[in-house]
Structure 1
Amino acid sequence: MDMNQYLSMFIDESREHLQAMNDNVLSLEASPEDVSIVNNIFRSAHTLKGMSATMGFEDLASLTHEMENVLDLVRNHQLKMDEFIFDCIFKSLDALESMVDDIIQGGAGKADVADIVASLKSIVSGDYLKSGGGSAAGAAGASGAGGRAELDEFQFSILQQSIEAGVPVLRLQVHVREDCVLKAARAYMVFQTLEANGEVIQAVPSVEEIEQERFENSFTVYYISHIDKEQLSGQIGAISEIERVDVQVLDLPLLQSLMQPLASAKDEIAAAAAPAAATKAQEAKPPAGSKPAEARKPGGSGGAPVATRTIRVDIDRLDTLMNLFSELLIDRVRLEQLAGEIRRSDLIETVEHMARVSSDLQNIVLKLRMVPIDTVFNRFPRMVRDVAKTLEKKVDLIITGADTELDRTVIDEIGDPLVHLLRNAVDHGLEPTKDRIKLGKPETGTIHLRAYHSGNHVFIEVEDDGRGINREAVLKKAMQNGIVSPEQADKMSDNDVYLLLFASGFSTAEKLSDISGRGVGLDVVKTKIESLGGSLQVESKLGSGSKFSVQLPLSLSIIAAMLIRLGDEKYAIPLSSIVETMTIRKEQIRQVHKSRMVDYRQGVIPYVPLAEMFDAPGTADSLSGEVQLVIVRKGEKLAALAVDEFIGQQEIVLKSLGKYLTQTFAISGATILGDGQVALIVDPSALIK
């Protein structure tokens, strides 16, 4: 028996059941009396218990059994759901996910869940009501394996990316003197000092608890800064009634050890399974549950699922298929070129037929890699629920377009940026409930998460009906930080101003927050989206809300491009960035404030001589006095790229430049042409500032 095959099926099915339970518990939280939802959760738990026991993962089976006992009482009307029970169920799901992740990493799926099991047993016996269960205090006993760690997944991702980028990450333990009278005031002074030199990511206890003096004589801070360790210790130590500060510089292994063990938002793990195994597992799937009120999807049918017509395929196999097809595409272009030179009619007909067949094959191969964005979106309702509860806000997350498909490569990378945008919307976008009521707004804030196709791109939007972005506050902060000058500020459009929010370390927050990283995060969003060949736009109306729009390419593997010549070399420019091509005379290039510009439509746009910029060999001044231009776009901005010759449009295979050419300016990759030459692919967005 091939155990790897069954383990792969178990992992895949376990993750599906855990996601279904998360979704259904969120639905149940909105409709606590709906027994049909409880039945769905019970069936998923029962199936997961059976699968775990069969595979020998007894800890998993034991915990799901305790969950079953609670759910059985609820579905038989012997127990009513309350806040304590919901928190216990969610913590159980987090623990189960942690155990499945341990199995994925080669472990035995074991975890210390004694606290959670004790809480579940107390619910069944009714003892939790006697000890104050149903309150925040009662729920504290179910915090999970030996207590919670200091970092959640969101904070971990920020710190990890900072370390990888070479930015020092510090863990500070600040000790206040035992006879200190105003501990909160001293802590505030510490945070002021830290704010002046870097970015605070997390405080333990939370900032709110520190402000209310709900801590003993020390607190911990996770901090990003270039300041010298000794200098920082001296500055904090100089604050009155601070006894000492212990500063620890973190590397990745140390940071990993501090990661919260019960993280609830993990990346999807793809696993292979044979068709027979997938069919067998299909019989155990629970009926699809409805989306919760806090995270609902308009429309959609509630019909019964149809018989399965799918199989699971390892993503590595699809990558291999794509690589083989890429080589085939290169050979096809070469054959077309040779057929054009030889001019034999039978050869030309054969090559044309091969081109048609390979085009159909290309579409199929690309579609095989397309994955519904719902695989990313389905983690967000739970995350938004947890963040809103922490901030004591009421939030309605409305998801549309979850069936929109994206290339698997993009899907794997877009999750973290969307986490940042959604957390930012809940924390900074939406006003506190009391403020919304004063403003005459509904006390429940609304966040729309949308995805849709447009041309060769997918657009993802995060829109809230909150306070909006204060243009003047953003500009004031940007000028204070030296990001823009007063002269530049006067000429900036609203979108340009809003994009300043994505500058590294930029923050307009007036109050400390443990949710959105105190200004760290949006720069990570911008960097990640641009690395995927995408772009960002921001719209906002003060007092009404904000909308962040992410534009992404459908695929990162095969793109349509315009081939051009610069001197002796060939380059490719993605068609998705090109507005049009045109020819002008040299005398039409004008000097404006020491910059070369050309007339275009009703205005002027920058003139960018590519051959000069890339120092292309063999470049000579044109004798005709004419200049070939490619007009490219980045958002609302345009530029005219000067080239020596247009070669023509062609589908090209995008190849990475590897680990040694990561800092190449305005080049996003390379491709192999039909004649065997390598052509670099120009990144127009890097040329437009």
Structure 2
Amino acid sequence: MSKENEYKEIFLAEAVESHEELNRLITELEKRPDDKKSVDAIFRITHTLKGNASGMGFKTIADFAHVVEDIFSAIREKKLVLDDQIFSSLFKSIDVLGELIHAVKTGVNVQYRGIKTKLEVILNSLKDNKKTDTEDSKSSDYEETATNNGFPEDDKTTTLPQQKPEGFEYDNNDADTAQKQAADETEPAESSKIIFSDHVQVPVRKLDNLLNLVGELVIERDRIIGLNSEKISTSEYSRLNRISSDLQYSVMDVRLVQVSFLFNKFHRIVRDTASLENKSVSLTLKGTETEIDRNILQIISDSLIHLIRNAIGHGIESMADRKNVGKPEEGNLTLKAISESDAVIIEVSDDGRGIDTNKIREKAIRNGFLTEAEAKNFNDNDIVLMIFEPGFSTADDVSELSGRGVGMDVVKKALDSIGGAVSVTTQKGIGTTFSLRLPASMAVKGTLLFELQHITYAIPLSYTDAVISIRKKEIYKVSNGLVTSHLGKTIPLVFLQDIFELPYANLINESKVLHKTYDSTPADKALNIVIVSYNTRIMGIVVDKLLQQKEIVEKPLMKPFDNVKLINGVTILGNGHVCPVLNVATLFNLIFIRNYTTKKN
């Protein structure tokens, strides 16, 4: 479906819902004409409908809604008093408005000019009455007369002057046309029709349950095909394969929402945060039409709040400081979304002072996160990533927004939970950009299957850069670890079996723990390696055997296995076996941050 048709469907769904609410409100208003809340609600709905229709290019609906809006504006301002005549016109106008909305889909020609003219005449008569009242108020022999919407009390059925509103043109200039319109004013609307929207509102929990059931169906499909692959040709299952896959992706598509759903909520957050910091900050949104799984958007919403507060509190300078360095006094914060194959990149950028890596390095040493020797071996990219460590803060003073050592670690934990990653680019005096790489959907995950000790494991493709085969002689011992060369760069290497055999994670610091499998491997043996990356770092993982790429439906670990940090979840393979999914984020943290996991208090 094209974007234009999709937006059209969304407009129709909202417009039908608005029309139904207008019918309810005006019926209630007829019973209680003094109900200000109903009048205000009708005014807001017609105003919104006018704007939406105008944005979609439906000028007839926009113009008609505008007239109805003006009528209720006059009612709100007590310039127009509701009576039977007015209600009759209003009910007719709401009916016609519904027909115009329905005509967007059906293309039916709707008679609307008569009632539109009548409403315009009422509005014009209010202007004329205002002029008359002004002139009469100056007369010394003025006699007050009870009126009803500009008409004498004893002449409520007086016909409004049939003047032609300014700018209004009939379809034709002959008398017959003036008569297709008089009939339109007096004839009742067609027999009432119930119009149903093509959209229905479904609770997210129902979609989640449906997606889980589809996932179970896919697992069962793979199991059946796997068990019967030797007996029956897989082509005989091609139709089942296609239908179940289409069903799976259709349900996934229902859960996709535009990032504008979340982005638009940040205008107020930016305003409030900037106010607390006594700063002036504008917010720019880009790529708001990018689609992502609603559940992922919900999970990372808090992370984006922390990043925005961090950018305003730490990144963007005060107005005085910005002026001193030749920048505009108002800082700029940009939220940008980019769709990239099966991932979505969300960037939070500011034009502030940038991140001072030397200050972070000093704080890390002072607070016991790193020794001086370790800090020297960390490049600027590694040092910047220290801000995501629990309890780390660069703020010198504790305030409402910073200095408490919480916030940025929440970002990392949220991303790890969904298989995402964060990277940081910064330039001193220019600004900083946080890039969040997120899976477009949590329902299906692309993985690479590999074997270790006769057990099949899965590793998410979002972390996988390449697979290579090297000889043992191409691997070298460095301190307590191993390294090899890949694309001209030296990268750390780990035998996954050594990690799995550790009874406790902190034993990884023990001497030669990561050399165990290497030492027992024959010198001429070819080793299968998966090159993985996470948060700008890269590493090689040695496994027994590489299998295939496969899309899986991942299930979380249940108690008591939910504390197994190296395994993120499990899936069921076609042969019915359970396949653990490797937690790459935990593996990286274990290898790269093992030296300061027990920081000083």
**TM-score when scaled to structure 2?**
0.62
Decide whether aligned partners of structure 1 residues 65 and 583 sit closer, same or farther in structure 2, where only a CA change above 3 A counts.
same
Higher alpha-carbon Rg: 2
After TM superposition, give the deviation of residue 636 of structure 1 in Å.
2.5
After TM superposition, give the deviation of residue 453 of structure 1 in Å.
1.2
Alignment partners' CA distance in 1, 2:376 and 2:258: 43
Alignment partners' CA distance in 2, 1:62 and 1:416: 38
Q: Deviations over 1:90-143 (max 9, x none)?
A: xxxxxxxxxxxxxxxxxxxxxxxxxxxxxxxxxx9xxxxxxxxxxxxxxxxxxx
Alignment partners' CA distance in 1, 2:306 and 2:480: 39
Alignment partners' CA distance in 2, 1:385 and 1:498: 27
After TM superposition, give the deviation of residue 339 of structure 1 in Å.
4.2
Alignment partners' CA distance in 2, 1:494 and 1:677: 44
Matched with 2:370 is: 484
Contact 2:279 2:318 in 1 (8 A): yes
Alignment partners' CA distance in 1, 2:23 and 2:429: 47
Alignment pair present for 1:672 and 2:572: yes
Alignment pair present for 1:657 and 2:557: yes
Alignment partners' CA distance in 2, 1:675 and 1:516: 52
Contact 2:423 2:536 in 1 (8 A): no
Contact 1:49 1:62 in 2 (8 A): no
- Aligned AA (1:551): R
2:415 corresponds, among 492, 510, 529, to 529
- Aligned AA (1:640): G
Alignment partners' CA distance in 2, 1:409 and 1:334: 28
Matched with 2:5 is: none
Alignment partners' CA distance in 1, 2:386 and 2:498: 30
Matched with 2:207 is: 318
Alignment pair present for 1:639 and 2:525: no
Q: Deviations over 1:476-514 (max 9, x none)?
A: 111100111222222322221111112222222234422
Alignment partners' CA distance in 1, 2:39 and 2:316: 39
Structure 1 residues 159-198: aligned runs within 5 Å = none
Matched with 2:267 is: 381
Structure 1 residues 82-161: aligned runs within 5 Å = none
Decide whether aligned partners of structure 1 residues 622 and 434 sit closer, same or farther in structure 2, where only a CA change above 3 A counts.
closer
After TM superposition, give the deviation of residue 635 of structure 1 in Å.
3.1
- Aligned AA (1:495): N
Contact 1:502 1:523 in 2 (8 A): yes
After TM superposition, give the deviation of residue 69 of structure 1 in Å.
12
Alignment partners' CA distance in 2, 1:478 and 1:50: 62
Alignment partners' CA distance in 2, 1:337 and 1:368: 29
- Aligned AA (1:480): R
After TM superposition, give the deviation of residue 392 of structure 1 in Å.
2.6
Q: What SS class does the counterpart of residue 632 from structure 1 fall into? A: strand
Q: Deviations over 1:283-326 (max 9, x none)?
A: 8xxxxxxxxxxxxxxxxxxxxxxx96432222122112211111
After TM superposition, give the deviation of residue 63 of structure 1 in Å.
8.1
Alignment pair present for 1:457 and 2:343: yes
Task: Name the count of aligned residue pairs.
Answer: 411
Contact 1:48 1:64 in 2 (8 A): no
Alignment partners' CA distance in 2, 1:388 and 1:49: 42
Decide whether aligned partners of structure 1 residues 682 and 434 sit closer, same or farther in structure 2, where only a CA change above 3 A counts.
same
Alignment pair present for 1:429 and 2:315: yes
After TM superposition, give the deviation of residue 451 of structure 1 in Å.
0.9
Matched with 2:300 is: 414
Contact 1:673 1:679 in 2 (8 A): yes
Structure 1 residues 293-308: aligned runs within 5 Å = none
Q: What SS class does the counterpart of residue 514 from structure 1 fall into? A: coil
Alignment pair present for 1:468 and 2:354: yes
Matched with 2:426 is: 540
Decide whether aligned partners of structure 1 residues 48 and 680 sit closer, same or farther in structure 2, where only a CA change above 3 A counts.
farther
Decide whether aligned partners of structure 1 residues 517 and 310 sit closer, same or farther in structure 2, where only a CA change above 3 A counts.
farther
Matched with 1:683 is: 583
Alignment partners' CA distance in 1, 2:471 and 2:38: 75
Alignment partners' CA distance in 2, 1:380 and 1:62: 32
Matched with 1:588 is: 474
Q: What SS class does the counterpart of residue 322 from structure 1 fall into? A: helix
Q: Deviations over 1:51-92 (max 9, x none)?
A: 9x89xxxxxx9889899999xxxxxxxxxxxxxxxxxxxxxx
Alignment partners' CA distance in 2, 1:424 and 1:310: 39
Q: What SS class does the counterpart of residue 376 from structure 2 fall into? A: helix
Unaligned residue ranges in structure 1 (runs of 5+): 1-15, 18-42, 55-60, 71-123, 125-278, 284-306
- Aligned AA (2:553): V
Decide whether aligned partners of structure 1 residues 65 and 546 sit closer, same or farther in structure 2, where only a CA change above 3 A counts.
farther
- % of aligned pairs identical? 36
Alignment partners' CA distance in 1, 2:288 and 2:444: 24
Contact 1:49 1:64 in 2 (8 A): no
Q: What SS class does the counterpart of residue 561 from structure 2 fall into? A: coil
1:396 corresponds, among 279, 282, 286, to 282
After TM superposition, give the deviation of residue 335 of structure 1 in Å.
3.1
Matched with 1:98 is: none
Alignment partners' CA distance in 2, 1:336 and 1:635: 38
Alignment partners' CA distance in 2, 1:64 and 1:341: 70
Moved over 6 A (4+): 46-49, 61-70, 619-624
Alignment partners' CA distance in 2, 1:449 and 1:48: 40
Alignment pair present for 1:555 and 2:441: yes
Q: What SS class does the counterpart of residue 570 from structure 1 fall into? A: strand
Q: What SS class does the counterpart of residue 352 from structure 2 fall into? A: coil
Alignment partners' CA distance in 1, 2:207 and 2:329: 47
After TM superposition, give the deviation of residue 662 of structure 1 in Å.
2.9
Alignment pair present for 1:565 and 2:451: yes
| Alignment root-mean-square deviation, CA | 3.6
- Aligned AA (1:650): K
Q: Please, which moves more after superposition, 577-586 or 648-657?
A: 577-586
Matched with 2:490 is: 604
Decide whether aligned partners of structure 1 residues 662 and 64 sit closer, same or farther in structure 2, where only a CA change above 3 A counts.
farther
Decide whether aligned partners of structure 1 residues 392 and 65 sit closer, same or farther in structure 2, where only a CA change above 3 A counts.
farther
After TM superposition, give the deviation of residue 432 of structure 1 in Å.
1.2
Q: What SS class does the counterpart of residue 547 from structure 1 fall into? A: strand
Alignment partners' CA distance in 1, 2:381 and 2:24: 52
After TM superposition, give the deviation of residue 681 of structure 1 in Å.
0.3
Q: What SS class does the counterpart of residue 240 from structure 2 fall into? A: helix
Matched with 2:119 is: none
Q: Deviations over 1:23-61 (max 9, x none)?
A: xxxxxxxxxxxxxxxxxxxx99x979959x89xxxxxx9
Contact 1:330 1:672 in 2 (8 A): yes
Unaligned residue ranges in structure 2 (runs of 5+): 1-13, 30-34, 45-76, 78-96, 102-195, 503-516, 593-601
After TM superposition, give the deviation of residue 427 of structure 1 in Å.
1.9
**TM-score when scaled to structure 1?**
0.54
Contact 2:227 2:574 in 1 (8 A): no
2:229 corresponds, among 330, 340, 349, to 340
Q: Deviations over 1:234-270 (max 9, x none)?
A: xxxxxxxxxxxxxxxxxxxxxxxxxxxxxxxxxxxxx
Q: What SS class does the counterpart of residue 662 from structure 1 fall into? A: helix
- Aligned AA (1:357): I
Matched with 1:101 is: none
Contact 2:222 2:573 in 1 (8 A): yes
After TM superposition, give the deviation of residue 517 of structure 1 in Å.
5.8
Alignment partners' CA distance in 1, 2:486 and 2:368: 32
Contact 1:335 1:351 in 2 (8 A): no
After TM superposition, give the deviation of residue 643 of structure 1 in Å.
1.1
Q: What SS class does the counterpart of residue 477 from structure 2 fall into? A: strand
- Aligned AA (2:275): K
